[in-house]
Amino acid sequence: MHMKKLLVIAAVFGLAACAQPQEECNLPENVMITGTNPIISNQFAADPTARVFNGKLYVFPSHDIPSVITHHDGSAWFSMADYHVFSSEDLTTWTDHGVIVTQEDVPWGRPDAYSMWAPDCVEKDGKYYFYFPNASKTGGFAVGVAIADNPEGPYEILPEPIKGINGIDPCVLQASDGNAYIFWGNGRCAKLKDNMIELAEDNPKQVMKWGDREFEMVGVSCLQGLPSRQAEGPFAFEYNGNYYLTYPYVRENTEVIGYAMSKNPMGPYEYKGIIMAEHENGCWTNHHSIVNYKGQWYFFYHHNAYSPHFDKNRSAQIEKLYFNEDGTIQEIKPTKRGVGPVKASHKVQIDRYSTINGADIDYLDTTDYFKGWKTIFDNAGDAVCFNELDFGKKAPKKVTFRYMAGPGAVVEVKAGDAVCEFELPDAREWAEVSFDMPAKVKGLQDLSVKLVNDSNAEIDWVTFR
């Protein structure tokens, strides 16, 4: 294809007051437009369990807050007092439906434990069963159930936790054999009764020893003999006649997500490998779920993107997941770009790039990481590329940058066949500037933004209208 090159130093159109489109200016407080990673930007959202209900994607994460309790060694620790539920139809616009369960309202739980770890939610016969771990008044962790008529709630918390489960991180598998199985902790699994709130009578039982104490545990340990050091957060699902037990465990120093396969929900499972390796920045935990939405498989997981110095304040992210022909799962690398469609008319966060060449990324405000990031261009040639940006059917007439720049900074914007250059006015504080678009760009295009000359610029976002 012949590339049309428009090397125009476009005239400044004017400093814009509110450059973002109406839908972004007037967003209700509980609605976020992201499309990139992390997906939830109004709070921390760890351990994201994704489920599809009524054609909509729901995410049930745990809700990290800055540490208010300490670990036994005195260090800052996971602190979670309640659960929110989020939903999206396009994986870009996320609605926070608010708090569905809070620690003060759990009759059997310690109201000040801040221990509402990873939850799950499944539907049966029009009822939504929300499974959550919590510190119990009688010691240790237990798993409770709250029931609702809608995924968003209101949920009614059952007075007692599930008898026979001592542990964290419940996940429920509704298998094609007609049974529901609950997995928890380090890969233990038991069958649920039809009522979804009790363990079945015919579950196997194991006598375990803890020092000189003996006690009976219900169900089976599906990860016994498999790589599973410090395993937690099991997520089980069924696809194409195979059961998958996916779980975080410590391979060297921090968690990876591994998986095992079986022909039976309760195993035995055969270890198959890694789905996601350790986080490069040392974030100790990862916790995930896997869901098919509108024909595409997705991997939800977490990272501490909004809390670089405290890895117990985590945020949910999404990547696409692919199977090999033999049913094994291809390894996934975390990205900043994520999976959501992004419109060119939105504030395009180019710091959530697909590829980067020379440019640097940094936080906009280290006193409030939720404000997000900026892209720093220091040398001629520094560039980022943001894949799959939707310019729509009508070519935008203007491009707007939120930026800072030294004198004479020229940036090249490349999208589809169009290559345009813009000289950013000198600005030492954040400013917005709009230019006429000298080229017509439509449809889905990869966008690249490059500093052309030896100057410097920082860009918060770009938008095309």
In angstroms, give the least distance from the CB of 226 to ligand FUB: 17
Smaller CB distance to ligand FUB: residue 46 or 447?
A: 46
Phi and psi angles of residue 394, each rounded to the nearest 5 degrees, phi first: -110, 120
Q: Which of 33, 38, 45, 47 binds ligand FUB (CB under 6 A)?
A: 47
> Does residue 117 touch ligand FUB according to CB under 6 A?
yes
Smaller CB distance to ligand FUB: residue 46 or 384?
A: 46
| DSSP characters over 12-51 | EEE--SS-S-HHHHT--TTEEE--SSSS--SS--EEEEEE
Q: In the range 71-100, which residues lie near ligand FUB by CB under 6 A?
A: 78
Rounded CA gap, 208 and 144, in Å? 23
Q: Give the count of alpha carbons within 13 A of 391, CB side only.
A: 25
Residues in contact with 113: Cβ distance below 8 Å, sequence separation at least 6, in sequence order? 69, 103, 134, 135
| 8-state DSSP, 76 | B
Smaller CB distance to ligand FUB: residue 232 or 382?
A: 232
How far, in whole angstroms, is CA 185 from its chain's centroid? 21
Q: In the range 145-164, which residues lie near ligand FUB by CB under 6 A?
A: none
In angstroms, give the least distance from the CB of 20 to ligand FUB: 33
> Does residue 233 touch ligand FUB according to CB under 6 A?
yes
Residues in contact with 381: Cβ distance below 8 Å, sequence separation at least 6, in sequence order? 357, 358, 450, 451
Task: Cite the active site residues.
Answer: 47, 232
Residues in contact with 13: Cβ distance below 8 Å, sequence separation at least 6, in sequence order? 398, 433, 434, 435, 436
| 8-state DSSP, 289 | E
In angstroms, give the least distance from the CB of 218 to ligand FUB: 20
Smaller CB distance to ligand FUB: residue 255 or 319?
A: 255
Q: Which of 50, 57, 118, 171 binds ligand FUB (CB under 6 A)?
A: 118
Q: Which of 232, 278, 421, 432 binds ligand FUB (CB under 6 A)?
A: 232
Q: Measuring CA to CA, which residue among 80, 36, 89 is closest to residue 59?
A: 89
> Does residue 448 touch ligand FUB according to CB under 6 A?
no
Would strands 120-124 and 355-357 be described as parallel, antiparallel, or unpaired? unpaired
In angstroms, give the least distance from the CB of 144 to ligand FUB: 14
Q: Which of 101, 122, 168, 218 binds ligand FUB (CB under 6 A)?
A: 168
Rounded CA gap, 121 and 209, in Å? 32
Q: Pull the structure tokens for residue 20.
A: 């973002």
Smaller CB distance to ligand FUB: residue 231 or 332?
A: 231
Q: In the range 276-305, which residues lie near ligand FUB by CB under 6 A?
A: 285, 287
| 8-state DSSP, 370 | G
In angstroms, give the least distance from the CB of 444 to ligand FUB: 35
In angstroms, give the least distance from the CB of 47 to ligand FUB: 5
Number of chain residues interacting with ligand FUB (CB under 6 A): 12
In angstroms, give the least distance from the CB of 62 to ligand FUB: 5
Smaller CB distance to ligand FUB: residue 314 or 347?
A: 314
Edge to edge, the sheet with strand 120-124 lists 120-124, 127-135, 141-148, 156-157
| 8-state DSSP, 103 | G
> Does residue 445 touch ligand FUB according to CB under 6 A?
no
> Does residue 169 touch ligand FUB according to CB under 6 A?
yes
Smaller CB distance to ligand FUB: residue 35 or 248?
A: 248
Residues of the shown chain interacting with ligand FUB in the complex, contacts defined by CB under 6 A = 46-47, 62, 78, 117-118, 168-169, 232-233, 285, 287
